[in-house]
Amino acid sequence: MFYLLVHLIHIFSVFIYGGFLFTDNLFLARMKDDIGDEYPKVREYFMKYVRKVVPKALIVAVVSGIYLFSQNFGTIAPEGLSNFQIVLLIKAFLGGWLGLRGVLQVFFKIQPLVFKSHTFPFILVVIIIFLSQLMFAV
């Protein structure tokens, strides 16, 4: 029952973080030409509310993901890692990188040296979603 609760919390927090990236990349970025000079003001107004929720959701997603990883990874067989474990490791690495980047950026004000836009994190979230579906099929 605890596993199911953590899993639901994880999915919900990932929806919040991924939804923000989806909205920012596919809607707000496209509005720049339509809004014109007001775009920075509109974006900052949007980000004012995002900053209250999304960083916390990202931390919840990473912490709950670490727990889920510990429950699902299993033991390493003498033959080596299974396909499931390999895909899960890739997914965990990408999620951990997103979490580390988010924590450093939001809580310690350390700006990323590369990938300053939200496009790369959005692509990683999409890859993680595909991997989460793929790992049970391999």
Q: Among 19-23, 41-45, 50-54, 114-118, which is the least confidently predicted range? A: 114-118
Supply the pLDDT for residue 114: 64
Number of domains in the chain: 1
Is the pLDDT at 53 greater than 80? The verdict is: yes
Q: What is the DSSP string of 67-123?
A: HHHHHHS-PPBTTB--HHHHHHHHHHHHHHHHHHHHHHHHHS----SS--SSHHHHH
Look over the chain and give the mean of its residue pLDDT values, rounded to a whole number: 88
Domain around 70: 2-134
**Predicted model pTM:** 0.83
